[in-house]
């Protein structure tokens, strides 16, 4: 009975048993290498090397990830052979996935997206993994093509549990049925998380608004975005260059119709490009209401996955002729610099536009089922440009998604813009959180700026007024203080005089 | 609707529909439906079979049934995406589970289960530790009479295949003060200093988490343990953990040391610790490490030596001798993000050291 586990090969727990061949991925606090395990017939492995010194102070998350990886067992989930520390680093030894991540594959060879048949093969395996994970009480929390890997046989595996969470072991989740007293009051929260994890582009609305709590259905949203990513070659909105003018264009006068063209330049893909089944499947995942999204298990029965091909289909149609993971990673590393330059050039004419306006504001998502595109909903554009101040301060409370261009390029280095993610085994946990936080910070700063702007419009220069006012207040305070002191002195004097008076009246008769 | 349990027509699977209205709890279970207690009893029978003999192919069905039972118990205790757990059912399951020796059977048979069943069993055991029956934690009462089970759980850190399962169970069991006390006072305690440094990271990290829980959860129990076992405990702690060659061991150990010493309930232990020049030497070395994380954590312990108003002469001697170096080191020590408390502590420590006069 236990033999199925015992027959697992024990990988050596010392770094000297491994020979590093090449770097195949990198993030803020981790590097991924291709290596061979010398004592085990020089089997190729991927080693994710996590820098403890740069990962967050609390090591519990690293422990949880290692544990999750050790205890999951599913053909579509990339598990770790073993993990051990090497000085300040943790080495996680994993099977080497020769095809690399789908993100790397599409950015190299399928920039306009994969065929539906290929997508189905990839997604069904991803769903099998998700269904298993969810059944185990785990949330993946970072589903995207960069975390879906393919081996040389076309077998698809879901990877990177850096931000995954378990409903059975977490301080964030309220333990279900822990006692009588907790039976009903927290019924809706027992399977929920309220912390913040993932990569912005793929994040479900309720994750961004994480105070509401989110659950398995957040993974389904990300799954839907991943489907779009595979179909278009990139996730929605990812291709906007990080230029100020572009941001202004979007916040001020961009129309949805232009937007389509802009995002998917040279790939204006007519609405007939995708089958009804695919559109319907994606649409169901991208429902704003998490409860209306199907479960992974239910999605598996969707008609889109009927007559789904096997892994050999991927070998023939996707992997065939693809350069090696190492090669692709190097190419991307080389072109990285050029890319960012190219993006800067897009700046164009609006050179004088407001400095440091870094994010566009999106108040929600419209899922255009026909074009299979996710379109941002901006705060209602009722005003002309000459009135756009008023527009800028229109804050919509619900379903806001704010994204910052810089997030894509700096926060998650190996993500979309730079397209360098060959192996997704890289921890993006910290980066993702950081990115999200910087998005939030940016958004708050922008709102502050807008409020100030509006104030200045209404009351002259608000900033200066404010300063003047506070100066005035402190001046008045000081005056008040001196008045008080004077008052006190006067009162004392009065007392003195009174005493004097009494004593003199008392003294008068005798003198 | 009229009951909390509904039986799926063909299989044995019991599915929860809706929580029963509390008033109807007496008519909760119809005789033919498998109640939570039935599932526990059946599980116990199957575990006995498993324990007594080798399982051959003919018994495969029994194993499948056992696995299914464990899954069901988990669903009863945790609920699932469709339904919340029903307190009445949880209580019934808990009562039956501890009524007889199911816990022991499950622990002893765990290695014979497959991975999924092991995980289910671990989660069931974990949950049961928190279940109250008539506002009593009956798991605690059970464990009090079966402390030897802890020996099995702790020793499992030496068995890579079982360590994470037993380790998770162990951490839940030491939530009970009485169990934590037993483990603290057992000879096993010394083994943790080695378990924490097992090469297998996931196991070492699990052992470290358990160790931390033992040393921080039950305040007065820990304080008592530390004062009774001060000598050997800190000798081991210093030499095996704080002076370990393993970076992560040192980092975790110095952090935990700070947590322990700064806890109000350990004030006496703290006073003793910061009067030792050997301890000071170790902490000063940790502050010199190139790792920022270790430096910062070491500072949080070092500050206690400096803040001690009854510093023994030899401590003062060391601080005075190294005054310039210490002040320079502390001056350069910065946290990435702003931390007023840290800065205030640092300023205080520097002031303290600068003002020291060697005593005659």
**Contact with chain A for residue B201, Cβ under 8 A:** yes
Containing structural domain, residue B247: 240-360
Do A70 and B202 make contact, defined as CB atoms within 8 angstroms? yes
Lowest mean pLDDT among A53-57, A62-66, A71-75: A53-57
Share of residues in chain A with pLDDT > 90 (%): 25
Distance to chain B for A250, nearest Cα, Å: 34
Could you tell me the pLDDT band of residue A52, with boundaries at 50, 70 and 90? confident
**Average of per-residue pLDDT across A57-76:** 79
Query: Across the interface, do A66 and B248 touch by the CB < 8 Å criterion?
Result: no
Question: For position B351, which CATH number holds?
Answer: 1.25.10.10
Candidate ranges A103-117, A230-244, A260-274, B172-186; pick with highest mean pLDDT: B172-186
Looking at the complex, report in whole angstroms how far the Cα of residue A378 sits from the nearest Cα belonging to chain B.
34
A27-36, A213-222, A276-285, B193-202: least confident range: A213-222
Q: Compare B168 and B13 and report the one with higher pLDDT.
A: B168
**What ipTM does the predicted assembly reach?**
0.86
B344 to chain A nearest CA, in Å?
A: 21
The pLDDT value recorded for residue A241 is 43
**CA distance linking residue B110 with residue B120, whole number of Å:** 10
What per-residue confidence (pLDDT) applies to B158?
96
Residues 27-86 of chain A with CB under 8 A from chain B are 52-53, 57, 59-60, 62-63, 66-67, 69-71, 73, 82-85
Tokens of B103: 């816990």
List of chain A residues whose C-beta atoms are within 8 Å of the C-beta of residue B247: 52, 85, 87-88
Confidence of residue A378 (pLDDT cuts 50, 70, 90): low
The full DSSP string for A161-179 is -TT-EESSS-SSSPPTTSS
Range with the poorest average pLDDT among A157-171, A317-331, B45-59, B161-175: A157-171
- CA distances to A104, A253, B279 from A203, rounded to whole Å, are 20, 26, 49
Domain assignment present for residue B25? The answer is no
Nearest Cα residue to A233 out of A119, A402, A376: A119
CA angle B2, A177, A173 (to 5 degrees): 130
Chain A residues whose beta carbon lies within 8 Å of the beta carbon of residue B164: 67, 70-71
Residue B108 lies in a domain: no
The tokens of A473 are what?
A: 């207040």
Nearest CA in chain A to B94: A179
Distances in Å between the Cα of A376 and the Cα atoms of A360, A373, B247, B341 are 10, 10, 47, 43
Reported as a single tens digit per residue, the pLDDT across A387-441 is: 433 333 333 333 333 333 333 333 333 333 333 333 333 344 555 566 666 666 7
Nearest CB among A10, A69, A177 relative to B85 is that of A177
Which pLDDT band, with edges at 50, 70 and 90, does A371 fall under?
low
For residue A1, the model assigns a pLDDT of: 41
Residue B86 lies in a domain: no
- Of A423 and B354, the structure prediction assigns the larger pLDDT to B354
pLDDT at A67 over 90: no
Q: What is the mean pLDDT of residues B328-352?
A: 91
What mean pLDDT comes out for the span A227-231?
Answer: 92
Residue B261 included in any domain: yes
Of A102-106, A181-185, B334-338, give the range with the top mean pLDDT. Answer: A102-106
Residue B222, pLDDT score: 97
Task: Give backbone dihedrals phi and psi of A410, rounded to 5 degrees, phi first.
Answer: -105, -45
Tokens of residue B284, six digits: 């000063």
Q: What is the pLDDT of residue A452?
A: 67
Residue entry with tokens 């700070």: B258
Higher pLDDT: A488 or A253? It is A488
CB contact B25 to A (< 8 Å): no
**Residue closest to A416 by CA, chosen among A143, A185, A107:** A107
Give the residue on A whose Cα is nearest the Cα of B246.
A87
**Within-domain flag for B9:** no
Distance from CA of B321 to the nearest CA of A (A): 31
How sure is the predictor about B262, in pLDDT bands with cuts at 50, 70 and 90? very high
What percent of chain B is predicted at pLDDT more than 90?
Answer: 79
pLDDT in tens, B106-159: 999 999 999 999 999 999 999 999 998 888 899 999 999 999 999 999 999 999
- Between CA B238 and CA B232 the distance in angstroms is 10
Q: pLDDT over 70 for what percent of chain A?
A: 52
Least confident piece of the model among A366-380, B58-72, B270-284:
A366-380
Rounded to 5 degrees, φ, ψ at A325 are -55, -45
**pLDDT greater at residue B65 or residue A68:** B65
With an 8 Å Cβ cutoff, is A506 touching chain B? no
Residue A105 contacts by C-beta under 8 Å, 6 or more apart in sequence?
Answer: A99, A150, A318, A319, A322
B180 lies in a domain?
no
Token couple for A400:
């806001």
Which structure tokens are listed for A140? 């993946």
**pLDDT above 80: residue A373:** no
For residues B202 and A442, what is the distance between their CA atoms, to the nearest angstrom? 37
Count Cα neighbours of B19 within 13 Å in the Cβ-side half-sphere. Answer: 18
Residue B298 lies in a domain: yes
Which of A54, A178, A215 to mutate: most B Cβ within 10 Å?
A: A178
Is A169 within 8 Å of B168 when comparing Cβ atoms?
yes
Residue A446: pLDDT band (50, 70, 90) is low
Do A88 and B247 lie within an 8 Å CB cutoff? Answer: yes
Higher local confidence (pLDDT), A392 or A155: A155
Would the pLDDT of B30 be above 80? no
Q: Please write the tens of the pLDDT for every residue from A447-479.
A: 676 666 666 656 554 445 566 777 788 888 888
Select the more confidently predicted residue: A506 or B92.
B92
Position B210 pLDDT exceeds 90 = yes
Average pLDDT over residues A182-194: 33
Chain A segment 193-252 residues within 8 A of B by beta carbon are 216
Q: Answer yes or no: is B260 within a domain.
A: yes
Q: Which of B81, B159, B197 is most worth mutating to test chain A (most A CB atoms within 10 A of its CB)?
A: B81
Nearest 10 degrees: Cα torsion B62, B63, B67, B72: 10
The two counts, helices (H) then strands (E), for chain B are 20, 4
CB < 8 Å from B in window 395-454 of A: none
Among the partner-chain residues B85, B114, B164, the one whose CB lies closest to the CB of A176 is B85
Question: What is the number of domains present in chain B?
Answer: 1
**Cβ neighbours, 10 Å, residue B360:** 4
Q: How far is CA A288 from the centre of its chain?
A: 17
pLDDT band at residue A36, thresholds of 50, 70 and 90? very high
- For residue B212, the model assigns a pLDDT of 96
CB-CB contact of A63 with A69 (8 Å): no
H/E run at residue A86: strand A82-86
Q: Tell me the per-residue pLDDT of A238-281, one tens digit each, with 9 for 90 and over.
A: 554 433 333 433 333 333 333 344 344 444 444 457 899 999 99
Alpha-carbon distance B14 to nearest alpha carbon in chain A (angstroms): 17
- Cβ atoms of B151 and B169 closer than 8 Å: no
Of B304, B301, B292, the closest CA to residue B329 belongs to B292
Q: At what angle do helices B87-99 and B115-128 cross, to 10 degrees?
A: 100
In the stretch 33-72 of chain B, residues with CB closer than 8 A to chain A read 55, 63
| B63 closest CB neighbour out of A1, A10, A85 | A1
Whether B84 sits inside 8 A of A85 (CB atoms) is no
Identify the pLDDT of residue A199: 55
Element (H, E) at B280: helix B277-287
Contacts of B25 (CB under 8 A, 6+ apart): B88
A contact residues 160-179, partner B, Cβ 8 Å cutoff = 167-169, 175-179
What is the pLDDT averaged over residues B249-272? 96
Which tokens hold the place of A48?
Answer: 């994710």
B136 touches chain A (CB under 8 A): no
């Amino acid at each position: 009975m236990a033999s199925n586990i015992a027959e697992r090969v024990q990988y050596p727990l010392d770094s000297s048993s491994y020979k590093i061949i090449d770097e195949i991925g990198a993030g803020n606090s981790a590097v991924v290498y291709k290596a061979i395990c010398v004592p085990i017939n020089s089997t190729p492995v991927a080693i994710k090397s996590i820098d403890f010194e740069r990962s967050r102070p609390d090591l519990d998350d690293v422990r949880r990830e290692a544990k999750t990886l050790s205890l999951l067992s599913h053909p579509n989930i990339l598990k770790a052979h073993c993990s051990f520390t090497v000085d300040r680093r943790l080495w996680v030894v994993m099977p080497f996935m020769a095809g690399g991540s789908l993100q790397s594959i599409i950015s190299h060879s399928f920039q306009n997206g994969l065929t539906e048949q290929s997508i189905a093969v990839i997604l069904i395996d991803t769903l099998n993994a998700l269904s298993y994970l969810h059944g185990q009480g785990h949330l993946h929390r970072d589903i995207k093509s960069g975390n879906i890997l393919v081996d040389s046989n076309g077998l698809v595996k879901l990877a990177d549990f850096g931000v995954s969470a378990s409903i059975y072991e977490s301080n964030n989740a309220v333990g279900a049925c822990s006692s009588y007293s907790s039976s009903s009051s927290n019924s809706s929260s027992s399977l929920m998380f309220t912390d913040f994890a993932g990569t912005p582009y793929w994040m479900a609305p309720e994750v961004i608004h994480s105070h509401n709590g989110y659950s398995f259905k957040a993974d389904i949203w990300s799954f839907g975005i991943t489907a779009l990513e595979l179909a278009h070659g990139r996730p929605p909105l990812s291709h906007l260059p990080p230029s100020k003018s572009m941001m202004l264009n979007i916040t001020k006068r961009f129309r949805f119709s232009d937007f389509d063209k802009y995002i998917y330049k040279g790939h204006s893909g007519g609405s007939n490009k995708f089958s009804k089944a695919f559109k319907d499947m994606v649409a169901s995942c991208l429902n704003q209401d998490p409860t209306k999204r199907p479960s992974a298990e239910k999605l598996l029965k969707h008609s889109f996955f009927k007559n789904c091909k096997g892994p050999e289909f991927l070998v023939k149609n996707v992997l065939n002729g693809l350069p090696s993971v190492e090669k692709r990673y190097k190419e991307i590393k080389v072109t990285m610099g050029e890319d960012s330059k190219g993006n800067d050039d897009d700046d164009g004419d609006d050179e004088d536009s407001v400095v440091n306006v870094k994010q566009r504001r999106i108040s929600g998502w419209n899922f255009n089922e026909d074009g299979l595109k996710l379109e941002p909903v901006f705060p209602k554009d009722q005003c002309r440009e000459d009135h756009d101040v008023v527009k800028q301060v229109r804050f919509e409370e619900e379903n806001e998604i704010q994204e910052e261009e810089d997030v894509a390029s700096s926060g998650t280095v190996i993500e979309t813009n730079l397209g360098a993610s060959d192996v997704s085994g890289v921890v993006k946990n910290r980066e993702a959180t950081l990115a999200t936080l910087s998005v939030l910070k940016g958004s708050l700063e922008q709102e502050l700026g807008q409020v100030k702007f509006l104030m200045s419009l209404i009351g002259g220069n608000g900033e200066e007024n404010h300063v003047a006012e506070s100066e005035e207040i402190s001046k008045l305070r000081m005056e008040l203080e001196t008045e008080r002191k004077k008052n006190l002195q006067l009162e004392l004097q009065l007392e003195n005089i009174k005493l004097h008076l009494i004593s003199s009246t008392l003294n008068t008769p005798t003198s | 609707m009229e009951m909390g349990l509904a039986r799926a027509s063909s299989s044995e699977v019991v599915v929860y529909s809706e929580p029963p209205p509390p008033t109807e709890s007496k008519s909760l279970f119809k005789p033919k439906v498998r109640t939570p207690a039935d599932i526990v009893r059946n599980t116990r029978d199957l575990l006995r079979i498993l324990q007594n003999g080798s399982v051959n192919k003919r018994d495969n069905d029994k194993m499948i049934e056992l696995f299914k039972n464990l899954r069901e118990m988990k669903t009863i205790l945790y609920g699932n995406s469709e339904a919340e757990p029903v307190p009445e059912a949880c209580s019934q399951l808990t009562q039956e589970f501890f009524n007889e020796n199911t816990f022991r059977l499950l622990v002893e048979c765990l290695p014979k289960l497959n991975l999924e069943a092991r995980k289910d069993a671990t989660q069931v055991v974990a949950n049961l530790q928190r279940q109250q029956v008539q506002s009593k934690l009956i798991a605690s009462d059970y464990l009090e009479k079966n402390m030897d089970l802890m020996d099995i759980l702790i020793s499992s850190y030496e068995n890579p295949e079982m360590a994470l399962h037993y380790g998770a169970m162990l951490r839940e069991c030491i939530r009970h003060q009485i169990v934590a006390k037993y483990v603290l006072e057992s000879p096993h305690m010394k083994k943790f200093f080695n378990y924490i440094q097992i090469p297998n990271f996931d196991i070492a990290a699990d052992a470290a988490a358990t160790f931390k829980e033992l040393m921080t959860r039950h305040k007065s129990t820990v304080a008592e343990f530390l004062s009774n076992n001060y000598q050997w405990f800190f000798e081991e702690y210093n030499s095996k953990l704080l002076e370990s060659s393993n970076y992560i061991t040192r980092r975790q150990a110095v952090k935990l040391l700070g947590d322990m010493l700064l806890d109000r309930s350990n004030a006496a232990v703290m006073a003793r610790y910061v009067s030792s020049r050997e301890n000071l030497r170790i902490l000063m070395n940790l502050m010199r490490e190139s790792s920022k994380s270790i430096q910062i954590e070491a500072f949080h312990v070092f500050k206690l030596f400096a803040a001690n108003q009854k510093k023994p002469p030899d401590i003062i001697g060391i601080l005075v001798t190294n005054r310039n170096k210490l002040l320079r080191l502390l001056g350069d020590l910065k946290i990435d993000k702003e931390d007023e408390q840290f800065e205030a502590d640092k300023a205080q420590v520097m002031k303290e050291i600068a003002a020291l006069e060697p005593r005659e």
